[in-house]
Structure 1
Amino acid sequence: MLGRCGMTALAEPVVLGSVVSSLPVECDGAFLGTTDPFSGLVDGGWSSGLPCPWETLALGDSLRPFGFPHELGMLLTAQGVCWGRMALYRRAVSFSRSEETAFRRMAGDLTAELMRRALRIPVGRVPSDHLGVINLGFDGSVDSINDQGRELLDFGGAQRCPDNPLLPIALRPLCAGLLRGSRRGVMLLPDENLGWLQVHGTVQHGVGRRCVTVSLQAARPLQVAPILLAARGATPRAVQVTLRVLRGMTSAEIAAELKISPHTVQDHLKPVFTALSVNSRRQLISSLFPTLKPYDLC
């Protein structure tokens, strides 16, 4: 059993020790995954006491065949956005209702830390014309990679595959899902060194085999803006309104497009302005993207 303090090794890579270093529930294995709010795909993960790679769990597979029939899981959500997921596993004894309640009390602190993590990732650090291309075999091996792709991977700070340190581990769930028929081929990857990256994967059908071509490039600011706003507690409607402000639309234009009154537009913007400590739309842009100019947003 991991016991009530057996998650330190799992927590250290994401600086979540203060949140999950003391589990209220005993378990034989545990998994914590961080989720890309843009696509819902798991972009990082840490596990302890489990007989298989966490990428298996990222695709929703059961651990019952591995001798873990009892699972206690939860999604880490706020304002309708999923920031991650966590699960505990047992071999013999099922989880009680009181244990489930105690476990779910952790959700608020875990979610808050993952939201803070998103705000620490820079935007616009990689030149927009940088395009890395990686061709991966069915088994996840690298068939080929262009020079810009190798440069991005060499300087990247995202969690890496343990059996192939060159690759961000987020590519595993993305590619495995595509090969299983998933249509979710685009995700945003937070990288502490490179900033937010857009990752796009497509399945290629060759003679007698399938592979996945993955492109890496800087995420556009307006792609990242919904994540940054949600991480500051903005409601889904406030995000819709603020995105239109960032595109340069007036309150009247936003009201007409969303079929609400101009007064309601201002009501949605007020808490966003308060959260960012700004008083104008220009300040809103500079607060969200301090290193960018307004013409760089698109």
Structure 2
Amino acid sequence: MKPSAAIASIRSLCSLGLPGEQLVPALLEALHRHIPSSRNLFDWTDPDGNLIRYYFDGPIDAQVARHYFEEFHNKREAEAMTGFRQSVMGRAVVRSAAELDNPAFFRSALYNEIWKPQGLHSRIEAIVRNSRDEPLGSLVLYREIHEQPFNAKEETLLGNLVPYIARGLEAEATLPHDFVVRGDRKAVLSISGEGELLHVSEDAHKMLLLSQGGITPETAGRAPRGSDYPTLALLAAQIRRNVGASRRQVSLTMDNAWGRFLFEAEPLAPAASGVEPQIHVTIQHHEPRAIAWRRALDSLNLSVAQREVCTLLRAGYSQAEIAAALSVAPSTVADHVKKIYTRVDVHSVRELCERLERASG
């Protein structure tokens, strides 16, 4: 994808007026398409550069997280690289991958005890600041050992994206009310009849934390316990109340700044004597429809201008209104619409919207 298309895509995403907690996961996912990476991370900070909470691709490794925050964060980290707070409070917009591409870093305890166990080898980092030049956070893109280091063009592109990301994080946001299921954001766990956590899938710890308000240095470094999540005790209590009922499955929906979380619980009977009964719980994360629709639109083979026209068509604008909104000739809009229909293989605005809704749902 050309840099101009990448900028347009991220700019559009950051203009949706979403809370930062819902924007950041979508942003990290979108960045993979524009600057290929194995794992992305965003750290929110206060104006003094102190880490508040964070979000990253992939599951939580509580042991590695605890070790990092106890031993390295703003401490031994400085043995191998610029410390977190110093980096956030510095003047750089993008910290180059070349800073850490040296034998000393790869011999460091930070690399071998924190980076390497997670498959991380190189990174570029962008410091995002608000209009008052105060830090909003740190955006980090990582690559693995077998991947090529980030190059100068990718670093430049990341720097060009930072102003739009800052505006998206700083803008006044409203909580969406229209959500769609993300099939790839699902966790499974089992609890006892009293809500004690027994077994977890790879993503369960992260999903539980997000459903309860977010990931912090303290919560990420602590192994998950049922007592930390009142939702699990509530599900267990509902299961107990349903003993003898024809349908014992229960569900619970939670909405917060991170999106919608659907909990579904079902009792499991012992398969053999001496085995304690358990409760099977699934957690399904839903995302705002606006993000899903934007991702579906980005997946089509359309130009930047054609995507803008699609967005306005979906919003109910006529072609004449689109021409006025984009300050172009009506014939230009008509040409865009014709090309959109041909590329997407539809014949009307209704079919176009249906196609995008199917792709986003």
- Please report the TM-score for the alignment, with normalisation by the length of structure 1: 0.37
Q: Flag the structure with more relative contact order, 1 or 2, with Cα contacts below 8 A and sequence separation at least 6.
A: 2
User: Which is higher, the Rg of structure 1 or of structure 2?
Assistant: 2
More strand, by proportion:
1
- Please report the TM-score for the alignment, with normalisation by the length of structure 2: 0.32
